[in-house]
Amino acid sequence: MKLREERVSLPSTAPGTGHEIQAVIIAPADDLPRPGVLLYTDIFQLTESTLRTARRLAASGYLVCVPEIYPRGDLAGVALEFDDPGKARGMAGAASMPTAEFDEDRISALDYLATRPDVTDLLVTGFCIGGHLAFRAAFDPRVAATVCFYPTGLQDGKLGADIADSLSRAADINGRLLVVFGSKDPHVPADARLQVISALYSAGLEDVELHVYAGGEHAFMRDIGARHDPELTDLALREAVSFFQGRS
């Protein structure tokens, strides 16, 4: 399937901020109305690795919006390298962002998608810190389904400059939820995964799935580096598409 791709600036809807959020829009080239997916990156922002994944998702019939997650400060518009300096800058960017600012930018991105005439429904996904941001996006009642890939910090609230209340707000999720972890992810070990799923069920969520992929390391879907697992990546993307389609 042929795709069209463009870079856009999403206006912030937060009062008094005035900043814009750089994003990439990827969709099938036919311009037909279709579900819109808000896709959150990892700490490295709009890298070609993440965009390749976004293109694969778009080729399954979605309009995918990939915004930067640090639209304020010196990381605005910056795609970081997958090296130690890049990781350090990405972690510093996260540490500089209060949860409230992540939430403001999420509202701006969802408002943008909701007003597009070629978007029929709102879906969300994300990787690593982006998986955590996707979880918070699921609080928006407009979001029909969310897929979180190896989200970090759900179990202890580590997201940005403060402690996020994400897991304690699980009952605010109205749409369907799928969470995918790797069994060898040191950031979310078995006890943390148990804490997450226990909190979700305690919150009364019934339309929720937790998948743990045997042998999967953290960031196993990033197609650069030794942790990449192509087979598990293919499985995860098939599961995401099937889930977004309501397992039809």
Q: Please state the rounded mean pLDDT for residues 125-154.
A: 98
Q: Is 216 exposed, middle or buried (0-12, 13-18, 19+ CB in 10 A)?
A: buried
List the CATH number of the domain containing 119: 3.40.50.1820
For residue range 93-134, list pLDDT tens digits in order.
999 999 999 999 999 999 999 999 999 999 999 999 999 999
Domain that holds residue 189: 3-244
Query: Which is higher by pLDDT, 16 or 138?
Result: 138
pTM over 0.95? The answer is: yes
pLDDT of residue 50 exceeding 70, the answer is yes
Indicate the number of domains in the chain. 1
Using DSSP, state whether 62 is helix, strand or coil: coil
pLDDT in the model for residue 248: 58
Torsions phi, psi for 219 (to 5 deg)? 65, 35
pLDDT in the model for residue 13: 79
Q: Is residue 166 very low, low, confident or very high in pLDDT (cuts 50, 70, 90)?
A: very high
Q: Please state the rounded mean pLDDT for residues 145-160.
A: 97
Taking the C-alpha atoms of residue 236 and residue 248, their distance in angstroms, rounded to an integer, is 17
pLDDT of residue 1 exceeding 90, the answer is no
